[in-house]
Structure 1
Amino acid sequence: MPLRRSTLSLTIPLILAAWQPAQAQQSEKSLDEVVVSANRGEQRRFDAPAAIDAVQVDTLRAGSPLVNLSELLSSVPGVEIRERQNYAQDLQMSIRGFGTRSTFGVRGIRILVDGIPATMPDGQGQLSSIDLHSAKRIEVLRGPLAQLYGNASGGVVQVFSQDPPVSSKPVFAAGIGAGSDHQRQWDVSVGGGNETLGATIDATRYRTDGYRDHSAAERNQVNAKLVARSSSSTTITGVFNYLNQPLAQDPLGLTRAQFYANPRQVVPQALAFDTRKTVDQRQAGVLVDHAFSDSDKVSARLYGGTRGVFQTLATQNNGVVDLDRSFGGIGLNWTHKTRIANQPLQWTVGFESDRMQETRQGFQNNGGTPGARSRYEDDNASNSDVFGQLSWAFAPDWEAIAGLRVSRVDLNIGDHLGSNSGGTSYHNTSPVLGAIWHANDRLNLYANVGTGFETPTLAEIAYSPNGSSISNVPNFALQASKSVQAEVGAKLRLERHTLDAALFTARSRDEIVPLINNSGRTVYQNADRVQRRGIEAGWTANWHPLLKTRVAYTLVDAYFDSSYRNGNVTIPSGNKLPGTPEHNLFADVETTVAPGATVALESRFESRTFVDDRNSDAAPGYAVFNLRAGKEVKAGPGTFYVYGRIDNLFDRQYAGSVIVNESNARYYEPAPGRRLFVGLRTRF
């Protein structure tokens, strides 16, 4: 099915506008930007044979509170990330249309923090445990090469934390902030060390009463890192993360009528069942990097953690969830550099094994208080993967890429209250092929094709159909979704301008979609085919040392390519995938108005977003503008940074996110109106 003429008419002018002003050679700073996600080894982002962005995090000068990942990734093309104003359900995130069906947590995207998975073996991931005050860089890998990271790799998000400062004296940092809806935040960190041994620890606290009624939240985090270098060839890194979320009220979604009548309101069911969530998570890991020589390097990881969740849902039957989880894993990979036909070749081979065990109990929800126990299970998920990846510069200006990953995922449920125990296994082999042409020092062109898969999560196999009703018997017949992806892209680097653009397509079969929705429970099934295709482009322009702009545009045409039955309704071929706006545009302009002082205007535009597979309704498109400003002041040994921002400058009423396929038609999660946040940070 060809792209529509209206789609192309919007896209081509944008790309031409981004290309036209670029007239000189790329600056040294941009060319030296380093990433590791594409080939598991350091290389310049410009030379990476894939669509990848690296967002540098300046924790002193960031013009936002650094509470949610959405503050930093809006400028990355291909990414849709929504801050739901609902800390009981985490952010909504999708990459090139993968992950849109998730109603809680993150699906279809692989998340890693310092090389340790934040995505469980069944494919369910969490973003709330990421402490952005400790972050140094965020890499976002899109397209076929992401498939080499295993289950649910429609894209890969890697967060790298700051290394301890090399300083003869400790380095202290602190920050405070406050804003609308009684937002309060503080952060404190200390670090130091030398070239041999260093450590840093950071603690943050954030509270809010919430934009909507019954949406208050509190989050406390600790992030620690220890780096030891026993020699010039060996580095041992220890990491520890702690998340305590004692309060996260859930106001639930609103119907269209409720959304327009009063976006701040809470539905009666949320109050009647006191919908809320608490989380307590601890995780620790050790990473070892050892270089045997200039040609051989080994990296290993070992990690483990626990996560406890207590959640009340807006239903009486099985409406209280009490979950105790333990998880951990190991990984090892070996990278070797050599030459063939006098041209450089690098290959990496490795294996990864991860495991999650959880005790899940369900209780009747008696007005927010647990009643009789209705569910008691021991659930397990594990994966065992081996992979290999090769890149060969077979000619002076050409490089070939090949990769293969063989995966096995096991899901098991042990039912203590009945006879619904059982398990299932999923197997997949994911090959990837590609090439990049280094046309000259300013232009790279690349193309990739590969396959991947996405298994059901433990939550998605929890229920089976029983006629038109729902049974507590696990749905082990649910299959993994498999996809074939392809992309072609270009990277242009000039003195004052950079442009990245890509065309992509992905065809999935056995897509996991709803069959029956009832009282907060969903039975899933496999749909035959889903198509995702589109264009993404990112443009950065440094017009003057005092003026710069950024533009990120994404077009995603995602639709069902065959019909399927959802309950008593037939979803016709051609219906759009819910939760995926066709057009998404981010742009900002930043200027320096005085030494150390900047002012910036941000804008974000989205087209309408369908709310369910039937395409029965859609959240309207919108345009919002944000204003931010900051001033840096040096005083003695300290540096101070004061900042402020106004979000939704013109007080636009719009849906910040939608809950796809919500069974009660409460699809809409309102975005806040005009909001103010101010803060002060210092480092000395």
Structure 2
Amino acid sequence: MAVLSRSALGGAVLAAFAFEAHAQQSEQQLQEVVVSASRAEQERFDAPAAVDVVQVDPFAQQSPLVNMSELLSGVPGLQVRERQNYAQDLQISVRGFGTRSTFGVRGVRILIDGIPATMPDGQGQAATASLASASRIEVLRGPLAQLYGNAAGGVVQVFSKDPPLQPQGELSLGAGSDGQRQYGFSLGGGSETLGAVLDVSQYATDGYRDHSAARRTTVNGKVVARPSADTTITGIFSSFDQPLSQDPLGLTRAAFMNDPRGVAPNALTFDTRKTISQSQLGVVVEHRLGAQDTLNARIYGGERQVFQTLGFAGGPTSAGGVIDLDRGYGGAGASWTHRQTVNGLPLQWTLGADFDTQSERRQGFDNAFGTPTTLRRDERGRARNRDLYAQVDWTFAPQWRLIGGVRSSEVRLEVDDDFIAPGNPDDSGRVKYRATSPVAGLLWNVSERVNLYANVGKGFETPTLAEAAYRAGGTGPNLDLEASTSVQGEIGARIKGERHALDLALFQSRSKNEIVPQQTVGGRSIFQNVDGVRRRGVEAAWRAEWDARWSSQLSYTWLDAQFRRAFGNAGGTVAAGNRLPGAAEHSLYGELQYRWNEKLSSALEMSASSRTWVNDVNSEAAPGYAVVNLRGGYRFDAGPAKMMLFGRIDNVFDRAYAGSVIVNDGNGRFYEPAPGRRLFVGLRTAF
């Protein structure tokens, strides 16, 4: 698949050499970061794909650390929309994959310490990651993400901090506009052979909009044991409790323009809200068989309970206006990595297998003004995946490196219908999806300062249990819905100097059987497959350390995501050339930081986005926007304790804009307003 012309590639190479010549005049070395994009630790500069790493220091971060959107705004190709609606979670999309999600995360795989936060059917939740205990977040984009399995338009990995080697503790307190309150603590300690760390944080808000209050508590525990020099055993426990999250629903354009703090009338009538409780336990073992071989294994399990009231009553033709969901999930995986040299150059290959399962009981009831009444839905859903994969990383010449891999996946969805009544027969059924996802890439180490790479791969995405729940013209699940497949390609350049670093990537993907909404009836969303979806674009990121005081960051994404073939849905005809909803064509982020001295620092942030279409027929769009934020922090000592006082002002100029959109909303309530100007201040203590 041609992604870039020869002339454009030649221009990129010439630009790389020109940038290198300029960079060699600099003096201060940019700090390198270690990542694991190809399942082995390496310098980020040498990663043969578009990958970004955000280092997280919970003590020093000048932010509440509640949502990933606080940390990932500067990653090109990644869109993280903080909805100001804790009943629906964040919206995360990578290169236009995942934009159709109205709740949860689809099209992007999320892993926390190597354990999936994405279920076998492809649906995940980002809110369960504890940022207060994180050490770094990696974002992998492009073809190599396909090696992580179903729904891997991209991969977001969160890695938690290891236990300290001596007793340590941290406390945090914060408060801000709209009744925001945050507090937490961390305790940890140990030795080289055994250590543990526990992080607890709580956040509450009255909400920017009416009827949008929320409260959540996150607990993350980690135990690391090293019984020998060759074996590391890591135990991980996490708990997420959100007993309150009111849902103000989206607004129509007229309501959004008239009163951004307003709430849809149905939200008050039916007391729309959600409660969530989730707990998980996992164990990861790494064992070196010798100098050349390493075994890695994981096993995990968890449970999740959700109770949600929706903005309608229900009725005989509906699935109900109240959802009650109980889910159990778990899995295991193992991989074997071998390292050797061929002609004095490194060769590494990995063989692995993943087995994951989810089982859920979903019931739907009529909604009598916020109270469940008549049962309308009662079913058991199951999803399982069995994957085998192989990957090779071979430096076959001093300046050339080959990356290749293949993943064989099988995903099964099953529905057992327990709600059998007149007009509603037994709709039990099952379906199996199989896919083979090959990827190949090439890295050219032009010099110590310039790397060029190219990748191509094939991926797939199954419908989730929620998307396959209903079919047109009858009751029961839509088991005729196909899995979407895509062919992706990218070329990129990574250039570094003493003070500057530049990343460039050009990408394109074409999808068949893309999963898109067909119609929504009585709260039931029905999906269909369409062909001819194309996503292409450019990503650029530049970082600079000008001197000991000044540093800057700039990232830009151009995303051209289109339906290339016309099709029909309940809203009318989607014309060829229409844009995918939820995906802005242009996104820009800039940051300028100044360190006044070793204790005091401040920064100016800017985020901008072009208009975002809200539905497939492109009849409406959220206007583009640009907002400016300010932040600052001051470190000082108080006896044996280290203190950090920080504050931030978001949306300094009090702009009114839609922070996120609800794509293809059947009621035309597409818009979720972002907050106006608001303040947050916090104090963190380490001892």
Paired residues in the alignment total 669
Q: How does 1:554-633 map to 2 (within 5 A)?
A: 554-567=557-570, 569-633=572-636
* Pairing partner for 2:665 from 658, 662, 683: 662
CA contact (8 A) 1:191 1:201 kept: yes
CA contact (8 A) 2:28 2:547 kept: no
Q: Which amino acid aligns with 1:78?
A: G
Q: How does 1:64-463 map to 2 (within 5 A)?
A: 64-167=63-166, 170-317=167-314, 318-418=320-420, 419-463=426-470
Cα distance in 2 for partners of 1:635, 1:21 equals 47
Cα distance in 1 for partners of 2:61, 2:590 equals 17
Post-superposition offset of 1:599: 1.0
Q: Which amino acid aligns with 1:202?
A: D
TM-score by length of 1: 0.96
Cα distance in 1 for partners of 2:26, 2:519 equals 54
Post-superposition offset of 1:232: 1.0
Q: How does 1:18-29 map to 2 (within 5 A)?
A: 22-24=22-24
The change in CA–CA distance for 1:25 and 1:217 in structure 2 (over 3 A counts) is farther
Q: Deviations over 1:72-130 (max 9, x none)?
A: 00011110101000000000110000000000000000000000000000000001111
**Residue segments in structure 1 that go unaligned for 5+ positions in a row:** none
CA contact (8 A) 2:80 2:91 kept: yes
Cα distance in 2 for partners of 1:61, 1:172 equals 14
Post-superposition offset of 1:549: 0.3
Residue 481 of structure 2 is matched in structure 1 by: 478
Cα distance in 1 for partners of 2:159, 2:29 equals 20
Cα distance in 2 for partners of 1:304, 1:29 equals 43
The change in CA–CA distance for 1:142 and 1:283 in structure 2 (over 3 A counts) is same
CA contact (8 A) 1:411 1:458 kept: yes
CA contact (8 A) 1:512 1:525 kept: yes
Cα distance in 2 for partners of 1:252, 1:275 equals 8
Q: Which amino acid aligns with 1:584?
A: S
**Partner SS, residue 594 of structure 1:** coil
* Pairing partner for 1:644 from 643, 647, 653: 647
Q: Which amino acid aligns with 1:128?
A: A
Residue 34 of structure 2 is matched in structure 1 by: 34
CA contact (8 A) 2:171 2:684 kept: yes
Percent same amino acid at aligned positions? 57
Cα distance in 1 for partners of 2:515, 2:403 equals 30
**Partner SS, residue 166 of structure 1:** coil
Moved more, 312-321 or 108-117: 312-321
**Partner SS, residue 616 of structure 2:** coil
Cα distance in 1 for partners of 2:153, 2:53 equals 17
Q: Deviations over 1:1-35 (max 9, x none)?
A: 999xxxx9xx99xx99x959952278896464110
The change in CA–CA distance for 1:631 and 1:162 in structure 2 (over 3 A counts) is same
CA contact (8 A) 2:20 2:449 kept: no
The change in CA–CA distance for 1:394 and 1:482 in structure 2 (over 3 A counts) is same
CA contact (8 A) 1:484 1:507 kept: yes
CA contact (8 A) 2:56 2:137 kept: yes
Q: Which amino acid aligns with 2:358?
A: M
Post-superposition offset of 1:417: 1.1
**Partner SS, residue 212 of structure 1:** coil
Cα distance in 2 for partners of 1:226, 1:116 equals 15
CA contact (8 A) 1:375 1:417 kept: yes
TM-score by length of 2: 0.95
Q: Deviations over 1:282-307 (max 9, x none)?
A: 00000000011121001000000000
The change in CA–CA distance for 1:391 and 1:102 in structure 2 (over 3 A counts) is same
Cα distance in 1 for partners of 2:19, 2:602 equals 26
* Pairing partner for 2:502 from 499, 505, 509: 499
Cα distance in 2 for partners of 1:368, 1:178 equals 30
Moved more, 334-343 or 659-668: 334-343
CA contact (8 A) 1:344 1:392 kept: yes
Cα distance in 2 for partners of 1:549, 1:32 equals 16
Q: Which amino acid aligns with 1:543?
A: W
Cα distance in 2 for partners of 1:27, 1:350 equals 43
The change in CA–CA distance for 1:208 and 1:568 in structure 2 (over 3 A counts) is closer
Q: Which amino acid aligns with 1:610?
A: W
**Partner SS, residue 616 of structure 1:** coil
The change in CA–CA distance for 1:439 and 1:563 in structure 2 (over 3 A counts) is same
CA contact (8 A) 1:31 1:46 kept: no
Cα distance in 2 for partners of 1:26, 1:564 equals 54
RMSD: 1.9
Moved more, 389-398 or 516-525: 516-525
CA contact (8 A) 1:175 1:681 kept: yes
**Partner SS, residue 136 of structure 2:** strand
**Partner SS, residue 244 of structure 1:** strand
Q: Deviations over 1:622-646 (max 9, x none)?
A: 0000000100112332110000000
Cα distance in 2 for partners of 1:487, 1:28 equals 31
Cα distance in 2 for partners of 1:472, 1:201 equals 47
Post-superposition offset of 1:267: 1.1
Cα distance in 1 for partners of 2:493, 2:86 equals 38
**Partner SS, residue 465 of structure 1:** coil
Post-superposition offset of 1:451: 0.2
Q: Deviations over 1:157-180 (max 9, x none)?
A: 00000000001xx20100000000
Cα distance in 1 for partners of 2:31, 2:551 equals 17
CA contact (8 A) 2:30 2:499 kept: no
Residue 543 of structure 1 is matched in structure 2 by: 546
Post-superposition offset of 1:39: 1.2
Cα distance in 1 for partners of 2:666, 2:407 equals 37
Post-superposition offset of 1:339: 2.3
Cα distance in 2 for partners of 1:200, 1:319 equals 42
Cα distance in 1 for partners of 2:105, 2:623 equals 23
Post-superposition offset of 1:594: 3.3
CA contact (8 A) 1:513 1:526 kept: yes
Q: Deviations over 1:531-561 (max 9, x none)?
A: 0000001100101110000001111000001
Q: Which amino acid aligns with 1:353?
A: F
**Partner SS, residue 210 of structure 1:** coil
Cα distance in 1 for partners of 2:534, 2:334 equals 35
Cα distance in 2 for partners of 1:600, 1:65 equals 16
Q: Deviations over 1:45-74 (max 9, x none)?
A: 000100001100010110110000000000
Cα distance in 2 for partners of 1:559, 1:380 equals 33
